Amino acid sequence: MSTIAADTKRHKDAFQALVEGNHADPFSLLGVHRSGNRRVVRTLQPHASRVEIVDAEGSVLSEMERAHAGGLFIGVLPPRKRHYLLRITNAGGDSYTIEDHYRFAQTLGDMDLYYLGEGSDKQIYEKLGSQVRTIDGVKGTRFAVWAPNAKRVSVIGSFNDWDGRRHVMRLHPANGIWEIFIPGVQSGDQYKYELLDSDGHLLPLKTDPYAYYHEAPPGNASIVFESTYEWQDQDWMNRRSSTPEMDGPISIYEVHLGSWRRKADDHNRYLSYHELADELVGYVKEMGFTHVELLPVSEHPFDGSWGYQPIGMFAPTYRFGDPDDFRYLVDQFHAAGISVIIDWVPAHFPRDEHGLRRFDGTALYEHEDPRKGEHADWGTLIFNFGRREVVNYLLGSALYWIREFHIDGIRVDAVASMLYLDYSREDGQWVPNEFGGNENLEAVEFLRTLNREVHGYGATSFAEESTAWPGVSRPIETGGLGFTFKWNMGWMNDTLSYMSEDPVHRKYHHDKMTFGLVYAFNENFVLPLSHDEVVHGKRSLLGRMPGDEWQQFANLRAYFSSMYAHPGKKLLFMGSEIAQSREWAHDQSLDWHLLQYGFHSGVQKLVRDLNHLYRSTPALHQIDFSGDGFEWIDWSDRDNSILSWIRRDSQGRHIACVTNFTPVVREGFRLGVPEHTQYREVLNSDSHHYGGSNVGNEPQHAEEQGAHGRPYSLVLTLPPLATLYLTPES
């Protein structure tokens, strides 16, 4: 019996499994193997009519025999031949030559596999996913994916006619990672994973959890991507410090890239990353913001989720360009001196079949128990923070954005939902921790580890956390979670509620404007007027202001000016700076045409001036997280709805702020001040430049008459619904 005939007989059942796509370890059969005293090459080519083993010059080394009608071919490899190629002739008579992917050894080293299994590989995105590589002089792509409970995992794409039998991957049983090197697959090629569960059932086709780039729906394929971008921000990156500059100005412009501006004359399409670099970067700089925060740019299947239900934690969304286009946008922000923050969502993920949900037929990334693994409010699934591979996946994602895209900070969404096991759950719908409490101890440890790593790379972290959890932005060593900053959701809710009241009733709600100072220094707070406050029937910020048109705009100007003088860093969602009238809509541009009207352009001018004044005045930003930088002048004038206070810098220099939250002009208002010198207005939100009535004050010297517990005082005219900033000339 010939070598090939004997080989065919010996492996009859295995060949049948290969052809049917049910064999779990094709590397044990395909490629080069010893058969008797000869070496044979086996290959599965279902669409081939003829297969030959050839050398690099195209000379035939061996004619392969069909060992199975399903396309299994076997040929003898001549002695001392190591490298070979396969020449395939299809039924139509066309021929092409390929490398045999099953001749390549494993591409993940023992240490790679060890750290991946341990869950401690900080650059996991360089090991898993699709990586363009050159191995033994052959260029192709290495694919690797974690699917420990799958019976078989294959890479499918146009390069193999989307046939899951052609490129079955090699399993590393110790850690459940499958990998394969496929010669010829290059940047731009689309692919998916085809998996059989442990019972051999075919699962829905999956996108790569580690893909760098995704196809637009409804295809949902992953795309091999090799970056060729050359960064120009070396000086910026060298200046980034592992110790955040807490005393610097931070004024954040929050942006949804898909609706900041659109091309109305081109079917209302999105701006590309390059177009955004041309238009958005200059606008943010001109407006004086120090930071831009992008609603999640990681890939997501549904536009209406705004990115908060991500499916590609390593992929900038295809909607505006490829990953290098996004790199260019970040680079241009840095060139303009603007830091880039992205919203990052580790709390949950969508149920889409092509995503992480039951990835290998089991609850791999999520919890099996719905009491721990499902967000009923959002219809999403919760990451299993107790599984080291899942934590490694999430940490790898955060560090990927920081390292590979030079992101300066991450804002972690929905932190409260991560911290509490009973978040938005009734009794009986949640499982207590090992001590009987409602704290998610695994999530707490994950967040602390996350913040250590983020800070270690010179980036900052922001927590969107809405409860009284202690120490969110306090050091881990003292029991805190370790975030750099925390959003002050209490301030936002209280002050917006106050501003929505008719001025005649505000004296009954005065405490809503003062209560925030009771706890203002418990955390490193950011004052956020975010996208969440201008959607879902809440109306725009302007729409929440009471009164006629003039009063609405005056209220908004007074509110913004009061905010910029309040302790805490600042955040403003796009459109608020032009006093957009309607709620934000993710599927259309901001109403830029409103700037032709004086009231709207006046608010924009005010925000621009506030930003520049805030940045240039240390007293407004230098001591945000300590009582040393703030003192009330008078917090108790509820009958007149007037608040006044002082901000100080580290040198003791000060600026006085006073807000009149009624439409009544207050003549002869005596304001206590600490210095016997001349004071002048440096900002008046009632100025005619901003659309106000232009009631104000000339520079005046403080009188030697005490007021509000201070030895000197000014006699002011307080404009209606307005905020004043006054600085001493000394």
Q: What amino acid positions are annotated as catalytic residues? A: 413, 464
> Residue 627: which H helix or E strand, with range?
none
Residues in the chain: 730
Name the nearest CA neighbour of 348 among 293, 290, 296, 399: 296
What lies within 8 Å, CB to CB, of 571 at 6+ separation is 251, 252, 254, 293, 487, 526, 527, 528, 529, 530
Name the nearest CA neighbour of 413 among 567, 273, 520, 306: 306
Q: What residue type is assigned to position 430 of the chain?
A: W
How is residue 559 written in tokens? 């509110």
Phi, psi of 686 (to 5 degrees): -95, 5
What lies within 8 Å, CB to CB, of 639 at 6+ separation is 507
Asked whether the CA dihedral 492, 493, 496, 501 is positive or negative, the reply is negative
Quote the radius of gyration of the chain (alpha carbons, Å): 32
- Owner of token pair 């007074």: 558
Question: Are 365 and 384 contacting, i.e. CB atoms less than 8 angstroms apart?
Answer: yes
Rounded to 10°, the helix 3-10/12-20 angle is: 70
Rounded to 10°, the helix 598-616/549-565 angle is: 10
Asked whether the CA dihedral 355, 358, 360, 361 is positive or negative, the reply is negative
Phi, psi of 152 (to 5 degrees): -155, 140
- Distances, alpha carbon 310 to alpha carbons 317, 321, 533, 714, in Å: 10, 17, 21, 55
Report d(CA 162, CA 164) in Å as an integer. Answer: 6
Does residue 283 sit in helix, strand or coil? helix
Burial class of residue 15, CB neighbours in 10 A (0-12, 13-18, 19+): buried
How is residue 295 written in tokens? 């609603």
What lies within 8 Å, CB to CB, of 200 at 6+ separation is 22, 151, 152
Asked whether the CA dihedral 16, 18, 21, 24 is positive or negative, the reply is positive
Question: Are 571 and 526 contacting, i.e. CB atoms less than 8 angstroms apart?
Answer: yes
Question: Are 258 and 319 contacting, i.e. CB atoms less than 8 angstroms apart?
Answer: yes
Report d(CA 147, CA 71) in Å as an integer. Answer: 28
Phi, psi of 644 (to 5 degrees): -145, 145
Beta strands in 47-199 (DSSP E): 48-54, 60-63, 65-68, 72-77, 85-90, 95-98, 129-135, 138-146, 152-157, 170-172, 177-183, 190-196
Which strands form 170-172's sheet, in the order they lie side by side? Answer: 129-135, 138-146, 177-183, 170-172
Question: Are 655 and 647 contacting, i.e. CB atoms less than 8 angstroms apart?
Answer: yes
How is residue 394 written in tokens? 């999430």
